[in-house]
Every structure is written in structure tokens, then in C-alpha cells.
């Protein structure tokens, strides 16, 4: 297991989310995405977004309000010379592997990632 680099082996599961958080995230996303091609117009879109224990990079960008490059940098393992190990600010996983053993990168929904949710 490569947990020290930020990569985690994980099983996709359903997660309960506080309805108040869903309402707050929806209110923010409704305003921020008005000019997009596909804006958030219904609270059920946010419920779907918050349903599982993983997010795609784009979903996490919507939830956190961060840009794609920022999310990728947060998920990149960096070496800590003080602790003499690799750390990352976000944990990530590849739950849907292709023939090479990788696949699309997902952000793991845990305490680290939930601290970036912008309400």
C-alpha cells in the first residue's frame, strides 16, 4: 500500500452527507455556475455529487472552488525532509483500473479533502 505518498487503495461506497452542507454547497454553486454551459440548477445535482466516498478532479474543483491545477498540486506527493517521508495534502486513488493498472484519478473523500469544501 502506498499510503505514505497519498495514494490509497479504496472501495467505492455510499456516504451520508448532512443536508445543510448540501444546501450551502448548492447555494454557492448555483451562483458561481450561472454562466457555465451546464450550471447547477437543482439540489439533486449536488446530492449526486456528494453521494460517494470519492470525487473526480472536476467534481472536487466544484465542491472546493479550487482550480484543476491547484487540486493536482495538492494531490501531488512531496518529500518532507523533516519527517523523511512523502506527504500529500489530499489523498487520491485509482478505483477503476485499466489494463495498465491505473485509470482516472479520484480524490478520496476524507477529513483532508472535506476541509477544502467551500460553503
Confidence grade of residue 4 (pLDDT, cut at 50, 70, 90): low
Q: Return the half-sphere exposure (C-beta side, CA atoms, 13 A cut-off) of residue 39.
A: 11
Crossing angle of helices 68-75 and 57-64, in 10° steps, is: 110
Residue listed under C-alpha cell 494531490:
75
pTM for this entry: 0.85
> What share of residues in the chain are helix, strand, coil (percent, to 5)?
35, 15, 50
Rounded to whole angstroms, the Cα distance separating 93 from 98 reads 13
Residues 21-76 pLDDT 10s: 999 999 999 999 999 999 999 999 999 999 999 999 999 999 999 999 999 999 99
DSSP 4: G
Residue listed under C-alpha cell 472501495:
11
Amino acid at each position: 500500500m502506498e499510503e505514505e505518498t497519498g495514494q490509497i487503495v479504496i472501495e467505492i461506497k455510499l456516504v451520508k452527507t448532512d443536508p445543510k452542507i448540501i444546501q450551502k454547497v448548492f447555494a454557492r454553486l448555483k451562483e458561481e455556475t450561472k454562466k457555465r454551459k451546464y450550471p447547477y440548477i437543482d439540489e439533486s445535482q449536488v446530492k449526486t455529487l456528494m453521494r460517494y466516498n470519492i470525487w473526480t478532479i472536476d467534481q472536487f474543483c466544484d465542491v472546493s472552488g479550487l482550480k484543476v491545477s491547484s487540486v493536482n498540486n495538492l494531490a501531488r506527493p512531496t518529500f518532507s525532509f523533516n519527517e523523511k517521508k512523502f506527504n500529500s495534502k489530499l489523498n487520491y486513488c485509482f478505483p477503476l483500473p485499466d489494463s495498465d493498472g491505473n485509470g482516472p484519478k479520484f480524490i478520496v473523500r476524507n477529513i483532508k479533502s472535506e476541509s477544502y469544501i467551500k460553503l
